[in-house]
Amino acid sequence: MNDEQFERALLGAIILYPAQYLKPVLTEGLRPEHFHTPHNALVFQTIVEISDTGVVPDPALIGAKTGNPLEVDHLTAEAPVAENVLHYAEQVRENHRWRQVKNAGYLLVSAAESKDKKLEQQADELLTAPAEGSSTTYTPEMLQDRIWDRLNGDPTPTIPLPYLGLTGLCGGLRRGEMVLLGGHTSFGKSVVLDSILTKGAEEGFKAHCYLNEMSADQRVDRFLAAKSGVPFGRIRGGRLNPEEAGKVLDASEQIPWGMTDAAGWSAEEIARHIRFHDWDLVGVDILHLIDHTEEKDLNNISRTLNQVAKIANCALVATVHLNRGAAMGGMRRRPTVTDIKGSSSFEQQADLVLFVHREQDSNGEPTHDGHGELYIAKGRNTRLGGIEVWLNPNTMTFGENPWL
């Protein structure tokens, strides 16, 4: 059966037996916009509107309101057997989805020919639209069933953080959530991000990072220092003795996560790459360096990353810049959510906001002893709080609690 035949068969059954079939197909998410033929969409919309008034949508009334009673009569002659109705409704939604894919293909071809990024974005929006027909309305009985499934099935594992104190507060990172990680320049937010990715990878999760500031070599050298114990400065300078070189080579065989140089990429390009590769844990460093022209564009960037975390079912951690006001007057103050540049775009969309803050000297620079704190400033389902940390400059990692 083609698109038109599925739609006509479905409508015929609903017209003949609205009390039996209308509620189930609406519960499954069927909407007028899913129909390919405008007239079929009009008939379905009319049935719904009549039913909403408490009146039984009989064929005569539907025909009168659509202005085509003969066509409604024809639809009733094509009604399927009862057990096929929900299958036909599902097929109508599925056909709608594939038409979106086809339209996205046309847009991508046009975008490639004209080098029009707006057309590319429109295509991406078609491809990343939430799955049609998934019901988000639950009766008490349905909620009870979901709880039963959760308690008796395999729980969705959270991704532990490399800091026991933070994991204890928030329970770890969850798939489908966007986390923002902020801090003043040179205070260590990218060090924290690397540690989060490494811990996730070591726990068996597929981790990856999108870089638009530091090079992949710089990030790899941090991991090599942490894993081998060879000082970071010596690795960067290439001044290694044979023993140290051997340790670094051994560490290189244990690199747990990959990187993509995303300098100049748009948020949509990053989102597309994430969906294609199906990562479990994603780092984006730095969100504010994603291609944009005005601060208001940050809202679209935040929305795109938030959406791809849900669609790709991954935990996404993005580092962010702070407003200049948070660093004026010498000493740089302890950040809050409102200190994030363009914070109005992020406050509602981020599921978790972390900050790293360090003790400072009289010039506002982090002290050499590396003492500081890592804390949760916002969380949807977590307690707020933090831990003391200490930066080891040789391994470029934060230890939990000061070293004694």
Q: Are strands 352-358 and 315-320 parallel, antiparallel or unpaired?
A: unpaired
Q: Which residues of 340-355 are buried (b: 16+ CB within 10 A; e: fewer)?
A: bbbbebbeeebbbbbb
Rounded Cα distance between 245 and 404, Å, is 30
180 and 106 together in one domain = no
221 and 275 together in one domain = yes
Predicted confidence at residue 260, as pLDDT, reads 92
115 and 230 together in one domain = no
Closest CA to 212 of 295, 320, 313: 320
Last residue of a domain, one of 131, 155, 179: 155
| Residues constituting the chain | 404
323 and 353 together in one domain = yes
Last residue of a domain, one of 109, 132, 155: 155
Predicted confidence at residue 197, as pLDDT, reads 95
Are the beta carbons of 124 and 271 closer than 8 angstroms? Answer: yes
Find the CATH number of the domain harbouring 376: 3.40.50.300
| Contacts (Cβ under 8 Å, ≥6 apart) of 130 | 310, 311
Strands (E), 250-351: 258-261, 281-285, 315-320
148 and 176 together in one domain = no
Q: How far apart are the first and last CA of the chain?
A: 74
10 Å CB burial of residue 399 (0-12, 13-18, 19+) is middle
Last residue of a domain, one of 97, 121, 155: 155
Query: Strand order in 315-320's β-sheet?
Result: 258-261, 207-211, 281-285, 315-320, 178-182, 352-358, 371-379, 385-392, 397-400
Digits of tens for pLDDT over the chain (404 positions)?
788 888 888 888 888 888 888 888 887 778 888 999 888 899 998 988 888 777 888 888 888 888 888 888 888 776 666 567 888 888 888 888 888 889 888 998 998 899 888 888 788 877 766 554 444 556 677 677 767 766 676 556 789 999 999 998 998 999 999 999 999 988 999 999 999 999 999 999 999 999 998 888 888 888 888 888 888 888 888 778 889 899 989 988 888 899 999 988 888 889 888 988 889 999 999 999 998 877 778 888 988 899 899 888 999 999 999 987 655 556 888 999 989 987 676 777 899 999 999 988 888 888 887 889 999 999 887 888 999 998 888 888 898 874 43
3 and 146 together in one domain = yes
Rounded Cα distance between 346 and 377, Å, is 13
Are the beta carbons of 399 and 392 closer than 8 angstroms? Answer: yes
* Paired strand residues for 210: 260, 284
Cis status, amide bond into 286, omega within 30 of 0: yes
149 and 295 together in one domain = no
134 and 187 together in one domain = no
Predicted confidence at residue 83, as pLDDT, reads 65
10 Å CB burial of residue 260 (0-12, 13-18, 19+) is middle
* Paired strand residues for 220: none
145 and 173 together in one domain = no
9 and 148 together in one domain = yes
Predicted confidence at residue 404, as pLDDT, reads 35
Find the CATH number of the domain harbouring 141: 1.10.860.10
- Could you list the residue range(s) of the whole structural domain that residue 253 is in? 164-400
Rounded Cα distance between 59 and 70, Å, is 10
12 and 31 together in one domain = yes
Tokens of 359: 């003790």
10 Å CB burial of residue 278 (0-12, 13-18, 19+) is exposed
Torsion angle defined by CA atoms of residues 259, 264, 269 and 274, in that order, rounded to the nearest 10 degrees: 20
Per the structure, how many domains does the chain have? 2
131 and 199 together in one domain = no
